[in-house]
Each structure stands twice: as C-alpha cells, then as structure tokens.
Structure 1
Amino acid sequence: MKNILYILCILLFVACDNPSAPVVNELSPMTKTDLAQGILYEANIRQYSKEGTFDAFAKDLPKLQQMGVNILWLMPINPISTTKSKGPLGSYYAVADYTGVNPEFGTLEDLKDLVTQAHALGIYVILDWVPGHTGWDNHWIKDHPEYYLQNEAGEIIDPINPFTGESFGWTDVADLNYDNMDMRQAMREAMVYWVKEVNIDGYRIDQAYAVPMEFYKKTFAALREVKPVFLLAETDVNHPGGIEMVDLFDASYDWPGHHLLKDVIHGKKNVTDWDAHIENLLETYNDRNIVVNFISNHDENSWNGTVQESFGAAADVSLALDYLSPGMPLIYSGMEYDLDKRLLFFEKDSFPKVAGKTFKLLEQLGALKLQHPALHSGVDRGTYRRLSTSRDENVLAFERTKKGDTVVFIANISAEYVGFTAPYNGTFKRFEDGRVKILSDTYEHRMRPWEFWILTK
C-alpha cells in the first residue's frame, strides 16, 4: 500500500510541476517498437547541476520529455575508487562497488525516485556499466585477486589496448580476468541486481568489445528473465567481435560516422564519402541493429572538444542529420543549453541552463522523429533513398519513407553558397513552420552555407 501511495504522489508531483507534460500511469516494459522511436539522452549527473545530485537532475525530467527524449542513460552511478584516483573526484569509470551508489549523487532511494519519476513521464532509464575493469579499492582486489589479470610477477595490471598491446594509460583502474568464471558470475549478479532493485530498463556497456561474447549471451538472458531490457554497446563493426558482437546488442555506436562527418565538415572528405558510409551501414546492419548517431558525448566533449569546436557553423545541420539518418539520435548533457565548454572529467563542474536555439531545435527534431514513422529505426525502420542532385559532392539529399509517410532532407554540407538541380518533384511542408515548399526538377535551388531543409507531406 505504501508503494502505491508513493507512486501516486510522484505522479501528482510531476503533473503539477509541469501541467502540460503527459503522465504515464505505468510504464510498460520496453519493446522493439519503443526502440524504433528512441531518442537517447546521456546524463552526466555530477556536472548537470551545481548540486550534482539525482534530485537536482530529476527536476528537469519534464524538459527532457519536451525534447522527445524517451531513453535516459545515466553515466556510472557507482562509488568511485580513491586509490590511484585521477583528479580530486576521480573517474566515474573507476568503480569501487558494483552494487553501491555514489554518495556524491545521493542515496539508493534518491536513485529509485529518479527512475520512478522518469517512468511516470514515459522515459526509460539505463545505467552505464563498466564490465572491463574496477577501481583499485574495489573489495574484489582484496577478496578476490584472482578476478584480475596479472603480470608475470603476480601484480594486478591496468587495461591493455588490444590494438597495440600497450597500456591505455588508465592507471586508476585494474583489468578484470574474464577467464575466471566466478568473476563472471559475480558481475552477472551485480547487473541483475539493479534491474530487480531499482527497476532500471537496461545498460550502456562501456568498452563492450573488451569482454567475451559468451559472457554477454548468458548475462543478457539472465537480465531478460527479469524484464525486457535495452542494451547499448560502446562498440562498432570495426572493433573486436565485429558484427557478431554488435548483433548481441540492441544498439551500438556509429563511431565511423561521427568521425567521418567531422571530416566532411572540415573539408577533408565530401558528401559522396558520407553516401558510401550510409550505404555500408544499410548493407551491414540488419533491422535488429540500431546505430546511435551523435555529435557529442562525454568522451568527445571532455577530450576532443565542444560541439562548436568540432562542428562550428555546421552544428545545426549536423544535429539534424543525427535525427534524419537511419538510427537513434543521442543528446549529451548540456547540448540543449548550447554548452560551450569542455566539462571537467575528474573534478566538479557545471554549466548554465538557459534554453536557446538548440533547445528549440531539439524540441522540433524530437517531435518530428516521434511523429513520422519514416524516421523510425530498428525493426520499424523507414526506407532510405538517396536523391541525386547536380552537386552531390556538396548537397546531401535523401528521402525516408514508410507506410505512406515521407520525409525529405536536403542540406548544403559546405561553407559556400550552392545552386543545384534535382530530379525530384513534389509539394511539401517545411517542418519548422509548416509553410509550403515545392520541389521541381526544372528549378535551380539555392542554399546558404550549412543550410538544410526538412520537408514533410
């Protein structure tokens, strides 16, 4: 009875806090259809607010719903190791206790409250999971040194890069030994714990390619005995395991596409290279595999630069492409507020939350993604057809269709004005304002640098 009253109070709180926000009485387990409409948000709890807590973040859940977000990915919520720690607060990915909550963020009950509030708004919640290594003061180090890889001297080692055979330089973590079956079982039990105890909806697996596929097969089966879950892999077909590894998961990263898009924006490649990438994705991935499209995430922001640094004046068209291309778009904490700084990784940071042009664009793109079956992915994926133009090296034009629904994307992916013709005719509505746009094969279209059109019927 107490649990029922508690959930009713949460629903009432959310509804009163944001009267326009639809409230879900009970969130059903995630289905493949839910994934097909997925919009993913990566939450950096530590840096999202000055407080850096679950409670502070939960207050903005209605804003995520405004942007169409329906899957929330929480960066690691576990206690952080202090032994060999980097910086004052250490890395989220140096886990001290797989079944504990970082007190910096709040309590277990605070986390449960966050999940309950998200579910009330129709938002699924997944946890970031680090299966490849632990922090140096994880109790496994003392209690089960056999759980770890060791050198010839019997010393536990930090992770080794499989491509080079050298240390990654991640000296704040100890590499786990997946030849030890007891360790695998302990890891599996920890993952099942969070699904049962907190009712989370799945995991984002850090460095998924570094763990044997057999572990995933048995572990994912155990998770799905509890409830259907969403499993996102930090990997792609170019990493160890290839497509066989990717196929174990519901979704994986489009790292190649991310890096290629930056090269196109900076003139190192052109749109024809992007065409080849999309063609390869469509041939390689089947309907069960969803690629996650992104222009930023925690690694990119902290180590490689802000969206503005990486994409400059092309930021908006690049973001739009994330939503219109086959796959699931990702928003990283702060993007919606035009984040213009590299967030510190090992110490406290924050950013001002003033909704500007990017928040509005994300609202529009979110509504577009959810309302148009042509833009769905996975098992409900809409078809993708490249539309040829007279300037294919600079102009990206394609059509997404499904069950009578059509969305057309045309963009000038260059820093120059372009004029072009396209053998395509039709009357459309512009997604941003509903005004009529006519495409004709007899007309030369003109586009400003980085301009894009999203047209619907």
Structure 2
Amino acid sequence: MKRLLLLLTLLAAMTACRNTPAEPAATSAHPGWSYRSVIYEMNVRQYTPEGTLRAAMRELPRLQKLGIDVVWLMPIYPIGVLERKGTLGSYYAISDYTAVNPEFGTMEDFDRFLAEAHRLGLRVILDWVANHTSPDARWIREQPADWYVRDSLGRTIVQYDWTDIAKLNYDNADMRAAMEQAMRFWLDRGIDGFRCDMACEVPIDFWRTTLTALRRDYPGIYLLAEGEDPALHEEAFDASYAWELHHLMNAIARGEKSPAELQRQVEKEDSTTPPEAFRLMFTSNHDENSWAGTEFERMGPAARVMALLTFTLPKGQPLIYTGQEMGYDHRFAFFEKDPVPQWVENDLTGFYRQLIRLRHDHEALAAGERGGETVWMEAGTLPEGVVGFTRRKGADEVLVVANLSNREAVCDPALQEPRSEYFSGKRLAPGERITLPAWGWALFTSGQEAAAQPQQSTAAQPM
C-alpha cells in the first residue's frame, strides 16, 4: 500500500509539473513559445566582415543577451549564376534547395550554427522561396520542363523585374511533392520553422496541404508568411505581414496621414483576420532597408515611437532587422558585399532591450488569441496627434500614450493609481498631466516599476 501511495504521489507531482509550464498547457493555435517571442532577421552576407555562418555564430550570444527569441536567416542556399544581378546575386534566386551557399560556408557550418543557437535557447527559422528558383537551378536541368511555368516559346517566366528567376508550376504534383521534401530536409536537421517568401504568389491549397502535414510530423514549428491575405491563416500560417500598417506608419511619420488612422487600421486588421492570427510588425526589414531606405530615412524622429508600437499593438509580433538594435543608418547593398562595420552597444540597444523585456514580462502583449483586450482612449480626451490604448489580460495591464506628431503635447493618461513611467522612471499620480515631446510617449504597466535604463529624450515628463 505504501508503494502504491508513493507511486500515486509521484504521478501527481509529474502531472503538476507538466501542467504548470511558463506557457498554459491548454491547446494552442501556435507553438507555446511563440506568443511573446521577438524575431530577429539576420542578413548573413552583411552580418560580419566574413559574411559566413561561422562568423555569424559568434554573434549569437549578443542576440541572446538582447533578448531575441527567434533568428530568421535570410536564404542560405546556393544561388544562380545565369542572369545574376550585381556581383554576388540575389539570395532569392535559389539554385538548390538542399545545400548551403558556399559564400556562407558548408552544411557542417550550418549545423554548428543551429546547434549553438539551440544551446543558447534561440529558435532558428529559414527563409523559404517556394514561388521560383534561379533560371539555372538544379530542377531546370534535372526535372521535366513542366515543373516550370513557360511561355509559348517554352521559355521560363519571370515576374516583376526579377529577371534572375524562373517561376515554378504548381499545377505539377511532382514538383509540389519535391518542394515539400526539400522543406522536410531542413526540418530533419532541426530547424524551428520557415519564413515563406512571397507566400501569396503560391497557391493557398499547397500551403494548407503541405504545412498541415509538416505540423503533424514536426510538432511545434513556426510558420511566417510574407503576405497579407487573411486566407493565409486558414489551416496554413501562424503569422502574416502587417504591410498596410507599416506603410501607414511611414505616412504618419511624414505627416501624410492622420494619427487617428492608426486606430482605424488596427481595428480593420482585427476584423479581417482570425483572433489567433499573428501579425508581423516592423519598422524595417531587408526589402524596406535596401529599396525604400532605413527607418530613419522613412520615419525620421518618429522611428522610435513607431518601434514601440510594433511591440505593443494587438496581434503584433515584433521584428528587428540587422543593425536596427544599434541604430545602423545604412541601406545595405542587396547584390554586393556591404557588411556592418562594427557591432556596438548604444542607447538604441538599450531601447530595444527594454522593449523586448516589456514584451516578455507582460502577457497582455502576447500575439494572437492570448493577447490582452485592447481599449482605445477616446479621441476627445487626448490632444490632436496623440493616440492612447490599454492592453489588459487579467490583472496584467500595459497603457501606451504616443504622440504621433512633430509638436509637443500635454495630456492626462487617466491613471487609476500612481504609476512609474516605464522608460523614464518618473512617478505619476492619478489626474497628473504629462508633457509628451514631439514623437514622444509614455508607457505604464501594472505590477512592475520602470525599466533599468531610462530613455530621457523621448519619455514623458510630469507637468
């Protein structure tokens, strides 16, 4: 009997341990680790002077210290030579889906990178280009002609100004199967998922069939679509791009759109996407940086407050691109070697570290269905150009008041009890008014005092 009681006690203890992890044990729409995660897009070619996976691996502890959860590697596969753009070519003109670009190293180098990332607690997702290959890819040489879309003369098709690609034919079942097998090749090596390039250009039924099968065989993978169609969330992807919101932020920063449109856009996206949808939010990425300019070119002094919004708006999953964490104000050449000259820590590094800590510490800021309810402050209670909202989940609360204008504003954040502003540490009493500098903000949380490193230049000051 004693042995039976001991066994029952042990089983109860094991069950309790299983049911009280950092994330709830209930069935989730997404991997439990992903809800409060922050993604970092690594441009391997430009990340170090060497531009290799081995050199990039040395920077992983720095990303861990910053608080990053997921490292998204831009395409690491061999790329084509035929019609190559520039000297080195585009990462997205892939010639072989199951190999490593010699420019970046070897498969052994990749395996070491992945193992080190996992040792540090980082997840790794690969950029997957399913829409097209290079015009001299292995499949062009080795597979039937009807694996590709061709014109009346039998030539492969290019899209837009992508003269270095050949579009794949998704009417071909064998090609679809080969694409799935290529994705499995990397999942078998232990990666944590994919960011799928130009996902809207690939038939949605391919994603629904393939990704469902991959999730069944590789539980816990994370899948991000470069696309904005709500259908991408139906039995397919965890997250999609919030492109419209990003472009609106650029327009508000330039004074071309009213800050009041921010709430309308967020509410529109909330109504058109499923409750569980993650929305990738960013002030920069590889496309924006190289072709539209850095966040400082596009947003000027509004860059920081817009970054703050990407970490706090509903459904949002924030992205940091190569160099943003130190305010590197440079457009990377896309087809040439153009490395970051030196990695340094500065006030931007501290700012992003605070934002990441904020997201990790507050369940109200989780993406998807686990995020807190969003309550917007009524427009009449705030000065023109200022927006405010609260995210609430149970007892957890985050209040954001953001001045999206180029002039100083004074307002009452309507606190219910004394709180310390998260960034500046300034204590504010209920009814006390604050001064928001141009493009400044105030952020208050429940159950937590100010962050460790004040940001005096943009945080609010009590009146």
Deviation at 1:432, TM superposition (A): 2.4
Does 2:182 align with 1:158?
A: no
Do 1:388 and 1:422's aligned partners in 2 also have CA atoms closer than 8 Å?
no
Does 2:394 align with 1:395?
A: no
Q: Percent identity?
A: 39
Q: Provide the TM-score with structure 2 as the length reference.
A: 0.86
- C-alpha offsets along residues 269-297 of structure 1, whole Å, 9 cap, x if unaligned? 11210010111122222232100110000
Which residue matches 2:139? 140
Q: Provide the TM-score with structure 1 as the length reference.
A: 0.87
Written as runs of structure 1 = structure 2, the 5 A alignment for 1:223-302 is: 223-224=214-215, 225-237=217-229, 243-247=230-234, 248-302=236-290
Distance (Å, rounded) in 2 between the aligned partners of 1:209 and 1:235: 6
- C-alpha offsets along residues 48-72 of structure 1, whole Å, 9 cap, x if unaligned? 1101011111111122122221111
Do 1:209 and 1:234's aligned partners in 2 also have CA atoms closer than 8 Å?
yes
| Aligned counterpart in structure 1 of residue 395 of structure 2, from 372, 387, 404 | 404
Give 1 or 2 for the bigger CA radius of gyration: 2
Which stretch has the larger CA shift, 367-376 or 137-146? 137-146
| Aligned counterpart in structure 2 of residue 176 of structure 1, from 146, 157, 168 | 168
Does 2:409 align with 1:418?
A: yes
Which residue matches 1:432? 423
- C-alpha offsets along residues 174-194 of structure 1, whole Å, 9 cap, x if unaligned? 011111111111111000110
Do 2:302 and 2:439's aligned partners in 1 also have CA atoms closer than 8 Å?
yes
Which residue matches 1:13? none
Distance (Å, rounded) in 2 between the aligned partners of 1:425 and 1:417: 24
Which stretch has the larger CA shift, 349-358 or 421-430? 421-430
Distance (Å, rounded) in 2 between the aligned partners of 1:220 and 1:400: 32
Does 2:191 align with 1:204?
A: no
Distance (Å, rounded) in 2 between the aligned partners of 1:392 and 1:32: 40
Structure 1 regions of 5+ residues with no counterpart?
A: 1-29, 160-167, 238-242
SS in 1 for 2:83: coil
Which residue matches 1:325? 313
Which stretch has the larger CA shift, 105-114 or 382-391? 382-391
SS in 2 for 1:259: helix
Which residue matches 1:188? 180
SS in 1 for 2:279: strand
Distance (Å, rounded) in 1 between the aligned partners of 2:119 and 2:272: 37
Distance (Å, rounded) in 1 between the aligned partners of 2:426 and 2:436: 17
Instruction: Compute the RMSD of aligned alpha carbons.
Output: 1.7
Does 2:110 align with 1:120?
A: no
Deviation at 1:317, TM superposition (A): 0.7
Does 2:331 align with 1:342?
A: yes
SS in 1 for 2:418: strand
Sort the Cα spacing of 1:279 and 1:304 in 2 relative to 1 into closer, same or farther, 3 A.
Answer: same
Deviation at 1:411, TM superposition (A): 1.3
Q: Please tell me the residue identity of whatever aligns with 2:268.
A: N
Count of residue pairs the alignment pairs up: 413
Which stretch has the larger CA shift, 445-454 or 279-288? 279-288
SS in 1 for 2:429: strand
| Aligned counterpart in structure 2 of residue 374 of structure 1, from 345, 364, 369 | 364
Do 1:234 and 1:253's aligned partners in 2 also have CA atoms closer than 8 Å?
yes
